[in-house]
Amino acid sequence: MSERKLPMAEPGDGAPPPPVEVEVSSFRLVGTLTVAGAIAGLAIVLIFQWAQPRIEAYQAMVLRQAITEVLGGPERYETVFLDSDGAFKANPVADTTGLDRIYVGYNQADDPVGVAVVGAEAGFQDVIRLIFGYDPGTGNVLGMKVLESKETPGLGDKIEKDSTFIREFQEVATLIQGVKRGRESGADEEVIMITGATISSKAIIDIINHRVAALRDPIDSYWSSPAVMTTGGGS
Amino acid sequence: MGDLLWILVSAMLVNNFTLVLFLGLCPFMGVSGRVSTAIRMGAANIFVLTITSMTASFLNAFVLPYAPYLRLISFIVVIASLVQIVETVIKKVSPTLFRELGIFLPLITTNCAILGLAIFQTNRGYDFVEGLFFAVGGGLGLTLALVLMASIREQTELADVPAMARGMGLVLILAGSLSLAFMGFAGLFSS
Amino acid sequence: MRATTPQQDLLRGIWRENPVLVQLLGLCPALAVTNTVANSLAMGLATFFVLLGSSILVSTFKTWIPKQVRISAYILIIATFVTIADLVLNALVPEIHKALGAFIALIVVNCMILGRQEAFASKRPVPRAILDAVGTGTGFLVALTMIGGFREVLGYGTFLGYPVFGSSFEPWIIMILPAGGFFTLGFLLLGFAWWEERKKERIRPRRWIHGVTHEVGGTV
């Protein structure tokens, strides 16, 4: 090919390069790209095989940690999926990726201690994703942990960092009522919201309430079914 | 319906693509102090964003479940081809528009907003319609930021700016102020 | 094209032609993930890896890539390296991977990388391409760490997680917000421009006294 000095393509220089003499067959063009694509694909697949087990292991560990935190340290947990007919089953269909799910925690004596539910809704800045523990026997929330949030640093992100607020969610009755500091009456279902971050706090409360309202019946029917080895109904 | 509206307004204002999510900064920094140019660039971006969103939804639904690791490569290949096609079509359909857009069309390929949209849409698991609202909202937000910056720069052309601040330093500080202003949109949809 | 020495190829990308601070390329990651020094380092290193890898490959295969499809080929190579970097980061340091989020994938459209391939790696032998990539990548890393350092120290009061100021320090939250990214880079550029102005003013009197004019700050 003739040596042509191509202009240096500075960023912002959108002028089309001068026409290059067509000396290369389109077969060679496509061929080069195909070969490059094949090699690239191969490299990626190999790295993927190495990386994927590690990635999945980490995600499983994070989930286990979160469930442990919100259910008060169960020995093991079992994932059950919401089937299309509105009931929870352990193995409804082969591909469970799109199904809603809860995690049933069992203690060392194999008694069920509660279920962990994930919820996500819009907060102040963006979507907040959290997991909370729920005891179908008493109807109480056992604990809450924020999984993902992009709330304002220093204000809204206190939903993650303020341990007093997080502790409010241990043993609180549903449906939760959020109250501002100074106006609490001490009722079972009250949670004191964070001063200066009421919208973020309210979002957390709403997420939990909406999930409980939506799933209370299926959870109750699953809880009292023989699938859950219960000796007298929960805690 | 409320959800879709939230996606649109959030992408446009609350989580503005340029001022909050930091996408599309190259055209944002380089936009001249001419509002008309900014509007045209914004429009071109909205167009490409919408088509990219549709293609990304399609890819995510039918092709990529079998090879999730090829996501990035397929996205970028699609985007590069899309821009190429759009360029050719515009050239044929309206040569005047093509001449006016000039530099901007090839630059859209490396505009992080396009690829960023595809990736955000995938990470959030938006379906086809949600993705469209996301793209339109994001594009409108991008255009809004471009137009605002262009009009401010138009004004500052005549202002007495100290020598050391001329150029990119000033643009960035202006951008920071705009970003602060847009923070006021947060909480727009609180329950 | 002017012939450049290997030393110039290596050093110019670090400061004089710094991709972020001088050429203003790759701004999206430079502002988005620099809220802590750890994130800045991770992004800088990931970009360094992608830049080095693609430069080596592009330079090695430059004679086999037809000119018509070279941009597509470069993008393919870069995208492959980015996918690999993404997978490796996710497997080895998942917390940082989560913090960097979508911006790892956006390394692909970092104009800096494609620019280096087009302007340099595709025209030079492999050793030179390596030097250029190392220089530019280091410059990118330096710039990101500077921005990240400012933002973390002022915005959190820590550096790499270690408290710097003591408990009475009230952090400047604005530095962590998106606006802080813009302001930090803006003030950095302002600072450099001011310094350049001062340099020029100091040279001018000398130039006049000797009655000899010579170029101020000649380019390499």
Give the burial class of B145: count Cβ atoms within 10 A of its Cβ; 0-12 exposed, 13-18 middle, 19 or more buried.
Answer: buried
Strands A101-106, A88-89: parallel, antiparallel or unpaired by DSSP? Answer: unpaired
> Is pLDDT above 90 for B107?
no
Whether residue C162 lies within 8 A of chain A, CB to CB, comes out as no
For residue range A192-229, list pLDDT tens digits in order.
888 878 888 888 899 999 998 888 888 888 888 876 65
For residue range C149-168, list pLDDT tens digits in order.
999 998 888 888 788 887 77
* Whole-number pLDDT of residue C43: 92
The owner of tokens 């994070």 is: A62
Nearest-angstrom CA–CA distance, C90 and C94: 5
Nearest-angstrom CA–CA distance, C51 and C126: 13
A27 vs chain B: nearest CA distance in angstroms? 19
Report CB contact under 8 Å: C108, B76: yes
Report CB contact under 8 Å: B165, C193: yes
- Is the CA virtual torsion A119, A122, A127, A130 positive or negative? negative
* Whole-number pLDDT of residue A1: 37
For residue range B11-55, list pLDDT tens digits in order.
899 888 888 888 888 778 776 668 888 888 888 888 889 999 999
Give the burial string for A75-106 (b: 16+ CB within 10 Å, else e): eebebbbbbeeeebbeebeeebeebeebbbbb
Helix, strand, or coil here: A84?
coil
User: By CA distance, what is A54's nearest residue in C?
Assistant: C91
Q: Which residue has the higher pLDDT, C173 or C209?
A: C173
> Do residues A202 and B187 touch, judged by C-beta distance below 8 A?
no
A29 vs chain C: nearest CA distance in angstroms? 6
**Complex ipTM, two decimals?**
0.84
Nearest-angstrom CA–CA distance, C144 and C138: 10
Q: Which of C31, C72, C86 sits opposite B22 (nearest CB)?
A: C31
Whether residue A57 lies within 8 A of chain C, CB to CB, comes out as no
HEC per residue, A178-227: EECCCCCCCCCCEEECCCCCHHHHHHHHHHHHHHHHHHHHHHHHHHCCCC
Neighbours of C131 (CB within 10 A): 22
Whether residue C220 lies within 8 A of chain A, CB to CB, comes out as no
Report CB contact under 8 Å: C66, A58: no
Q: Which pLDDT band holds residue C81 (cuts at 50, 70, 90)?
A: very high
C104 vs chain B: nearest CA distance in angstroms? 10
> Is pLDDT above 70 for C16?
yes
User: What DSSP state is assigned to residue A115?
Assistant: E
Q: Tell me the chain C residues in contact with residue B21 when contact means C-beta distances shorter than 8 Å.
A: 32, 178
Whether residue C76 lies within 8 A of chain A, CB to CB, comes out as yes
- Percentage of residues in chain C having pLDDT higher than 70: 91
Report CB contact under 8 Å: C186, B172: yes
Which residue stretches of C61-170 are H helix?
Answer: 70-92, 94-100, 111-116, 126-155
| Selected residue of A126, A150, A193, A198 to mutate for chain B interface (largest B Cβ count, 10 A) | A126
Give the burial class of C101: count Cβ atoms within 10 A of its Cβ; 0-12 exposed, 13-18 middle, 19 or more buried.
Answer: middle
Averaged pLDDT, B104-129: 82
Q: Which of C89, C152, C91, C122 is nearest to C1 (CA)?
A: C122
- Percentage of residues in chain B having pLDDT higher than 70: 92
- Percentage of residues in chain C having pLDDT higher than 90: 25
Report CB contact under 8 Å: A12, B103: yes
> Do residues A22 and B115 touch, judged by C-beta distance below 8 A?
no
Q: Looking at A21-25, A202-206, B23-27, C144-148, which range is the least confident one?
A: A21-25
Give the chains touching A; criterion: ≥3 Cβ pairs < 8 Å. B, C
Mean pLDDT for chain B overall = 83
Whether residue B19 lies within 8 A of chain C, CB to CB, comes out as yes
Angle between helices B168-182 and B128-156 (to 10 degrees): 130
Q: Which of C68, C84, C111 sits opposite A11 (nearest CB)?
A: C111
Q: What is the DSSP string of B17-72?
A: TTTTS--SHHHHHH--S-HHHHHHHHHHHHHHHHHHHHHHHHIIIIIGGG-GGGHH
For residue range A121-157, list pLDDT tens digits in order.
888 777 888 999 988 888 888 889 988 887 877 777 8
> Do residues A21 and C58 touch, judged by C-beta distance below 8 A?
no
Report CB contact under 8 Å: C31, B169: no
- What pTM was estimated for this model as a whole? 0.81
Phi, psi at residue A29, to the nearest 5°?
-60, -55
Q: Which of B22, B177, B179 sits opposite C28 (nearest CB)?
A: B22
> Do residues A72 and A133 touch, judged by C-beta distance below 8 A?
yes
